[in-house]
Amino acid sequence: AWHELGHLLAARLFGVGVQEYSIGIGPRVMGFRYGATRYTLRLLPIGGYVDPANWDDVEDKEDLAKLEPVERKLVQDPRNWLAGKSLFQRVLLFLAGPLFNIGLAAALLTVVGFAPGWSGGVLDILAGAWDAQRRGGMLGFDYGEGVSALGHMAWIEYSWSLGIAAFARHLALFNLYLGLLNLLPIPPLDGSQII
């Protein structure tokens, strides 16, 4: 969804009409139309696509007749066609998905740090500050009787934040790999479209 959102936003930026934004592939499970664009969720939750308006959408008169009027108007106007945009705009449109993945990976790794045990991520810094405050180091006084209850609560919160950090690292690496994989010049990946 995030990857395809990059393509959708780039299409909107360059004035390319989008017939469908789909999450998943296969038979349609549910969806809705907003303007001329159909937003769909499909049965198999692997992949997805953005279907830009193009000159080949108007070649087959039978397919054109099946479209709703608002979508028919979208695909019949050459100003909305992907093929009518500059080479630079088309390349950026296909790069947008992988760049969204790589950007999300960079943002997540900035927040959680690059690997378990590395310091410097925002969550690691906050966890260290919470631990120091719990022990009285930052405030300069001893919690006395309440230290064990507070310590237990802090350990639970710190462990929970480590679980979130591990999940975020996995999500970051998944997005990094997905972005790089999509740059390979293999059909139907974005890299082949760029080439």
Closest CA to 99 of 191, 24, 28, 167: 191
Q: Of 171, 176, 181, 130, which is closest to residue 153 (Cα–Cα)?
A: 130
10-46 burial: b if 16+ Cβ within 10 Å, else e: bbeebebbbbbbbbbeeeeeeeeeeebbbebebeeee
Q: How far apart are CA 40 and CA 164, in angstroms?
A: 30
Phi, psi of 50 (to 5 degrees): -120, 125
Burial degree of 95 (CB within 10 A; 0-12, 13-18, 19+): buried
User: What φ, ψ does residue 186 adopt, rounded to 5°?
Assistant: -120, 125
Known catalytic membership, residue 145: no
Active site residues: 4
